[in-house]
Structure 1
Amino acid sequence: MSQSAASPSAVPRSAAATSRRIDVELGERSYAVHIGPGVRVLLADEVAATDARRAVVVTARGLEAVPDPGVPHHMVEVADGEEHKNLASVEGLCRSFADAGLTRDDIVVSCGGGTTTDMVGLAASLYHRGTPVIHLPTSLLAQVDASIGGKTGVNLPTGKNLVGAYWQPRAVLCDTDYLDTLPARERLNGYGEIARCHFIGAGDLRRLPLHEQIAASVARKAEVVAADERDTGLRHILNYGHTLGHALERATDFALRHGEAVAVGTVFAGRLAGALGRIDRERVAEHLEVVAHYGLPTRLPEAVDVGELVELMRRDKKATSGLAFVLDGAAGAELVRDVDEATVMDCLRAMPRDGR
């Protein structure tokens, strides 16, 4: 960790003029999500609005990816990836905050993908029992979902996101210029969250330009979070496709990326809803069509064991009793608890597999 001298942003401030602003309405904890090319240049303004005197900038994209926050700051480099999303990494970040002399009146800035925003957000929520944080999400998945809504968390060996806290950011800057350098698979990974938005009230996003797909996804999430910040009801729908998705991540030791796994989980959610008589065949087929449109995987990995998947799904945070899934229905998506295990097993066994 080293202190960074102030330096001008490489992106002109005029670039932010074409951005979209979406507000997450949470009373005194409301904040803006800015979406568009060059919006990272708004960082200094957002930091100034918090009255912070210093900052710690945690970046998984290198030092040059973050503009000057406008206050004395230290830079901490980390790596994106589920293998780093654990309590040991959170402790390391908190130690870095303490070494930098950060107080609860200062600011933490994250720059990276969804695993980084999750990890840094949790560290900020714990340090001094809560230190403000601003996110600069750099992956498509982080821009459409992970950086927004205040859910932070890290993994345990037994499950994904089992340790976390609700900690809303002060601002989110979704600079679409970051996406220009994403590898093709990482961009595809983000489309997993966009595809599932089709079934939770965002509408059909398939023919929109990417920045409009991001904005529509963020707007829908902002609506849901504003109505149910602490996941007591409506917010469950944001986990569409995630129950099986999280299990597939664990079962493949994260060889299947989060968005890819959610895509398969979305197809499965349609099949399961059909098997339970909640939706008709056309709507079941629509799940497959939407996911396939984005070029996402639609089949189970060849080697995964159905019994292992069911056991992993039992550990899902929503599964307070039996198996629980967010499923489509006549009234839209909703959380369905105590889903019959035999039906789940039958649907899993009937899913097509890679290589078959």
Structure 2
Amino acid sequence: MSVIRIRAGNGGTETRARRIDVRLKDHEYAVHVGSGARRLLPAVLDELGVGRVAMVSSAREPELPDPGVPFTVVPALDGERHKTLASVETYCRAFVEAGLTRSDAVIACGGGTTTDTVGLAAALYHRGIKVVHLPTTLLAQVDASVGGKTAVNLPEGKNLVGAYWQPSAVLCDTDYLHTLPRRELLSGYGEIARCAFIGAGDLRGLDLTEQIVASITLKASVVARDERDQGPRHILNYGHTLGHAIERATDYAWRHGEAVAVGTVFAGLLAGRLGRIDAHRVSEHREMVESFGLPTWLPSGVPVTTLVELMRRDKKKGPDTDPTLTFVLDGPAGVELVPRVHEHMVSSVLADMPAGPAPASD
């Protein structure tokens, strides 16, 4: 990891940004984190040899950086309800209208749903076009924009249609976070909290930029070892199996990070019930999540049977006739994939958890 200097225009103020390199077998790219990081966009595009870009962004986003090449702004279809194949088609048709070729690029400026959906559109358009992510939410900066997983939802479940398509660069400008609503920040902290149990350690004593850098550094190291979920990358799903079920069960009234936070507490409880960790370690899960101001309870009005059924649709699930589920759980050897956890055990742990409303909006 290195530090680079950014100068904004003639006579502009100089800014420092942290650089994390993601090194894969057939691809390498840099993630830049810091105030003003988006001003690196022209240099990044010049290095990539890009002649034209489509910048997908919501009108609510802060002012877009000048990419330094001809560009078209495409309105982002933001939020989980627009994370669909229909949105992917809309973006691809906009790319056609913008005249993009395989030598051009797409810029995804927005939250996690934007980077996911635009990333998938980039993977499919002309069988693959460069994409640069400018994540504008904490959740997108610490997780969604890095690692190359792109996906959209189906009515039956979350992220069921997708592709692996690595970005060509990621610019995490922390200035974007200054105007985020509190609940949107909390959603990002859900991913930071679960990092404590998958190798990042306790990040609570760090400032926000350092928390982002630590989270990305961990993810980059895991993805470098396992780009396509064949082994170690499973640890990044910690808390996500129940988290995705909560999102779907509440029709996405619960934010992703909120749901993952609850999933993290559940992962600790389940690991304890299975005898994989002791009571102190179980308590650490709840304490970590609570310390960030995140929920530790299940959504009220959602039956346990509904959550179990949604978890059965998880991508790691076996045949329908198999009454077991697979989870990423803590244990004596660290976090690992644990198959064949019987549904009765899962239901019992869920039934013992309290229920309550989603965190209040600002």
Residues 195-219 of structure 1: CA deviation (Å, up to 9, x unaligned): 0000000011011101000000000
Letter in 1 for 2:211: Q
Determine which of 155, 158, 161 is the counterpart of 2:159.
Answer: 161
In the alignment, structure 1 residue 179 sits paired with structure 2 residue 177: yes
Q: Do the aligned partners of 2:77 and 2:87 also contact (CA within 8 Å) in 1?
A: no
Residues 82-109 of structure 1: CA deviation (Å, up to 9, x unaligned): 0110000000000000111100110100
In the alignment, structure 1 residue 103 sits paired with structure 2 residue 101: yes
Alignment of 1:285-324 (within 5 A): 285-321=283-319, 322-324=324-326
Q: Once the 2 structures are TM-superposed, how far is the Cα of residue 52 of structure 1 from its aligned partner?
A: 1.1
Task: Give the length in aligned residue pairs.
Answer: 347
Q: Once the 2 structures are TM-superposed, how far is the Cα of residue 352 of structure 1 from its aligned partner?
A: 1.4
In structure 2, distance between residues paired with 1:228 and 1:273: 24
Determine which of 234, 237, 242 is the counterpart of 2:235.
Answer: 237
Q: Do the aligned partners of 1:202 and 1:217 also contact (CA within 8 Å) in 2?
A: yes
Letter in 2 for 1:256: W
Q: Which residue of 1 aligns with 2:4?
A: none
Give the secondary structure class of the aligned counterpart of 1:326.
strand
Q: Once the 2 structures are TM-superposed, how far is the Cα of residue 172 of structure 1 from its aligned partner?
A: 0.2
Gaps of 5+ in 2: 1-6, 358-362
Q: Once the 2 structures are TM-superposed, how far is the Cα of residue 79 of structure 1 from its aligned partner?
A: 3.5
In the alignment, structure 1 residue 273 sits paired with structure 2 residue 275: no
Determine which of 116, 119, 122 is the counterpart of 1:118.
Answer: 116
Give the secondary structure class of the aligned counterpart of 1:65.
coil
In structure 1, distance between residues paired with 2:270 and 2:59: 39
Q: 1:62 to 1:53 in 2, by over 3 A?
A: farther
Give the secondary structure class of the aligned counterpart of 1:35.
strand
Determine which of 190, 194, 209 is the counterpart of 2:188.
Answer: 190
Q: Do the aligned partners of 1:56 and 1:75 also contact (CA within 8 Å) in 2?
A: yes
Q: Once the 2 structures are TM-superposed, how far is the Cα of residue 60 of structure 1 from its aligned partner?
A: 2.0
Q: Do the aligned partners of 2:8 and 2:14 also contact (CA within 8 Å) in 1?
A: no
The TM-score normalised by the length of structure 2 is: 0.93
Q: Do the aligned partners of 2:247 and 2:259 also contact (CA within 8 Å) in 1?
A: yes
Q: Once the 2 structures are TM-superposed, how far is the Cα of residue 134 of structure 1 from its aligned partner?
A: 0.2
When the two chains are superposed, the root-mean-square deviation of aligned CA atoms in Å is 1.6
In structure 2, distance between residues paired with 1:288 and 1:24: 31
In structure 1, distance between residues paired with 2:13 and 2:228: 37
Q: Once the 2 structures are TM-superposed, how far is the Cα of residue 15 of structure 1 from its aligned partner?
A: 4.1
Give the secondary structure class of the aligned counterpart of 1:111.
strand
In structure 2, distance between residues paired with 1:93 and 1:68: 21
Q: Once the 2 structures are TM-superposed, how far is the Cα of residue 250 of structure 1 from its aligned partner?
A: 0.6
Letter in 1 for 2:53: A
Determine which of 280, 283, 288 is the counterpart of 1:282.
Answer: 280
Q: Which residue of 2 aligns with 1:144?
A: 142
Alignment of 1:210-229 (within 5 A): 210-229=208-227
Letter in 2 for 1:330: P
Letter in 2 for 1:318: K
In structure 1, distance between residues paired with 2:140 and 2:189: 11
Give the secondary structure class of the aligned counterpart of 1:153.
strand
In structure 2, distance between residues paired with 1:87 and 1:57: 19
In structure 2, distance between residues paired with 1:125 and 1:301: 35
Q: Which residue of 1 aligns with 2:262?
A: 264
Q: 1:276 to 1:251 in 2, by over 3 A?
A: same
Letter in 2 for 1:124: A
Determine which of 82, 85, 88 is the counterpart of 2:86.
Answer: 88
Q: Which residue of 2 aligns with 1:343?
A: 345
Q: Once the 2 structures are TM-superposed, how far is the Cα of residue 254 of structure 1 from its aligned partner?
A: 0.6
Residues 16-50 of structure 1: CA deviation (Å, up to 9, x unaligned): 3x211000011441100000000000000111111
In structure 1, distance between residues paired with 2:11 and 2:203: 30
Residues 47-99 of structure 1: CA deviation (Å, up to 9, x unaligned): 11111111100012557522111111100111421011000000000000011
Alignment of 1:43-62 (within 5 A): 43-62=41-60
Q: Once the 2 structures are TM-superposed, how far is the Cα of residue 320 of structure 1 from its aligned partner?
A: 2.8
In structure 2, distance between residues paired with 1:11 and 1:160: 46
Give the secondary structure class of the aligned counterpart of 1:237.
helix
Q: Do the aligned partners of 1:63 and 1:77 also contact (CA within 8 Å) in 2?
A: no
The TM-score normalised by the length of structure 1 is: 0.95
Q: Percent identity?
A: 65
Q: 1:109 to 1:326 in 2, by over 3 A?
A: same
In the alignment, structure 1 residue 352 sits paired with structure 2 residue 350: no
In structure 1, distance between residues paired with 2:277 and 2:9: 51
Relative to structure 2, which stretch is displaced further, 318-327 or 239-248?
318-327
Q: Do the aligned partners of 1:12 and 1:41 also contact (CA within 8 Å) in 2?
A: no
Q: Which residue of 2 aligns with 1:66?
A: 64
In structure 2, distance between residues paired with 1:9 and 1:157: 44
Give the secondary structure class of the aligned counterpart of 2:190.
helix
Q: Do the aligned partners of 2:219 and 2:236 also contact (CA within 8 Å) in 1?
A: yes
Q: Do the aligned partners of 1:15 and 1:37 also contact (CA within 8 Å) in 2?
A: no
Give the secondary structure class of the aligned counterpart of 2:121.
helix
Q: Do the aligned partners of 1:13 and 1:41 also contact (CA within 8 Å) in 2?
A: no
